[in-house]
Structure 1
């Protein structure tokens, strides 16, 4: 089921969106402020975000920036701000579409469907990733020696379920800094968001298996004090 995170401080609008989206068989998660939205996004990773800009604790563009630090999921801004500068700011921050209030529910649903189709198409086109001497097939969950790899590289590499979970978060966000907390919450759950030793262990295992020089990694990068990055 497709999960939609709806962020708005108007209770009546949240209720209306929850009812309409649920009726169309979407799973709906709601937040009334930016802090809650970012927390829920980390714990219940959405497939799309519908976001108001005028939130009580922070501007919606800050929420967009927080999400874009680790995920490419579509973000549709739903706002009463009609000034073109606000639209430009939101789109520059990383939003994918902008709908002004008041709005037609049918149009909103059509925009959501269009963004999801585009996102799914982009993901389908990015099912293989090269790391070191290997090619990862994200759909088949396989790691095979690349055609140009040296003969001494193993034909296949086995990754555990947890190693795949950690690796997939990074490779689906190429070049982006992903915080350790985000990875911990997505893979192990919110109760583990301070267990940084887990990540050190699993990143070391992944480098041993995939990087040509594990002690000098070139693609699975640690950014001290900030997080991790996959460098294509």
Structure 2
């Protein structure tokens, strides 16, 4: 688990295809690596990756086909800047929100505009994720815990303050930039709980929480 508070910005120093999977070499001079061991997890642009080798200047991690299908990692060019965060411990302040590092899909930056010292971004998420994104709720974008300012269907608005601009890769986003998205894990579990016994049926039919189901459960009148 992670908090979505970026600890350092690293760079992609190398990438290598390995039997259909991908091996990444991350250079992370700003990330304290003295307590990192083989097998530890590091959120790499929001993707939980396992350290398979320590290089002295960073780490090496393998990326499975499943992860490549749901994230932007396969398209990152060598030299790309990357948000980094080590896994939280029981003594880690939870300054953001609970983040699993299991990316749900890829979003697209639609608009960027300056607003005083902040930057406002309009982001479009995959339609299947729209129901998990709430006004003033939390969302993880390339590993950074951010607050949703407004929602319109699959599109949502973010306000990025100067500190976040300086400490993450977000300042470099432009219209067309692809970003990793992870919705709030609480929303996913809540959906399953609301489905109750219908969760088994849902997995076969593809149906989810509907207005009729909410009414049946007493949430609507």
TM-score band (shorter)?
Answer: under 0.3
Q: TM-score, normalised by structure 2?
A: 0.28
Higher helix share: 1
Q: TM-score, normalised by structure 1?
A: 0.27
Higher strand share: 2
Higher relative contact order structure (alpha carbons within 8 Å, sequence separation ≥ 6): 2
